[in-house]
Copies of this chain bind each other. A is one copy, B any other.
Amino acid sequence: MVSVRVPATSANVGCGFDSLGVALTLYTTFKFEKLDSGLEFVGFEERFSNKNNLVYQTLLTTLKKLNKEISGVRISIENDVPISRGLGSSSTCVVAGIYGAYLLTDTPIDKQEIFTIANEIEGHPDNVSPAIFGSLSSSCTTDSKEAVTVRYEVDERFNFLALIPNFETSTEEARKVMPKEIKLQDAIYSLSRIGSVIKAFETYDLELLNKVMGDKIHEPYRKEIIHEYHEVREICEKIDSSAFFISGSGSTLMNIVSDTNNIEKIKTELAKLKYNWQAILLKVDKEGTVVLN
A182, chain B: closest CB distance, angstroms: 5
> Which residues of chain A in 1-18 are interfacial with respect to chain B, using CB atoms and an 8 Å cutoff?
15-18
B residues in contact with A148, CB < 8 Å = 196, 208, 211-212
B residues in contact with A279, CB < 8 Å = none
Interface size class of A (residues with CB under 8 A): 35 or more
A120 to B182, CA, bound (A): 26
A12, chain B: closest CB distance, angstroms: 10
Tell which of A59-67, A186-194, A222-230, A264-272 binds the partner: A186-194
B residues in contact with A193, CB < 8 Å = 140
A21, chain B: closest CB distance, angstroms: 11
Which of B179, B180, B191 is close to A191, meaning CB atoms less than 8 Å apart? B191
Q: B19 and A191: CB pair below 8 A?
A: yes
A142 to B18, CA, bound (A): 21
> Which residues of chain A in 109-146 are interfacial with respect to chain B, using CB atoms and an 8 Å cutoff?
125-126, 137-144, 146
| Proximity bits, A12-31, B CB within 8 Å = 1, else 0 | 00011111100000000000
Copy number in the complex reads 2
Q: A212 and B17: CB pair below 8 A?
A: no
A16 to B15, CA, bound (A): 14
Question: Closest chain B residue to A146 by CB distance?
Answer: B211
Q: Does A94 contact B (CB under 8 A)?
A: no
Interface centre among A19, A144, A149, A194 (most CB of B within 10 A): A194
A182 to B188, CA, bound (A): 11
Q: A217 and B19: CB pair below 8 A?
A: no
Q: Does A150 contact B (CB under 8 A)?
A: yes
Is the contact region of chain A dominated by helix, strand, or loop, or is it mixed?
A: mixed
Question: Closest chain B residue to A140 by CB distance?
Answer: B192
B residues in contact with A15, CB < 8 Å = 191
A142 to B209, CA, bound (A): 11
A103 to B133, CA, bound (A): 50
Q: B19 and A192: CB pair below 8 A?
A: yes
Interface centre among A125, A181, A212 (most CB of B within 10 A): A181
Say yes or no: A183-B183 contact (C-beta < 8 A), given A18-B191, A192-B139, A192-B141: no
List residues of A whose CB falls within 8 A of some B CB: 15-20, 125-126, 137-144, 146, 148-150, 152, 178-184, 186-196, 198-199, 208, 211-212, 214, 217
Q: What are the 7 A-B residue pairs with the smallest beta carbon separation, nearest first?
A: A138-B195, A140-B192, A187-B187, A19-B192, A150-B199, A142-B211, A18-B188
Can you list 9 pairs linking A and B with CB atoms under 8 Å apart?
A17-B188, A17-B191, A19-B195, A138-B192, A142-B212, A148-B208, A150-B195, A182-B187, A191-B217
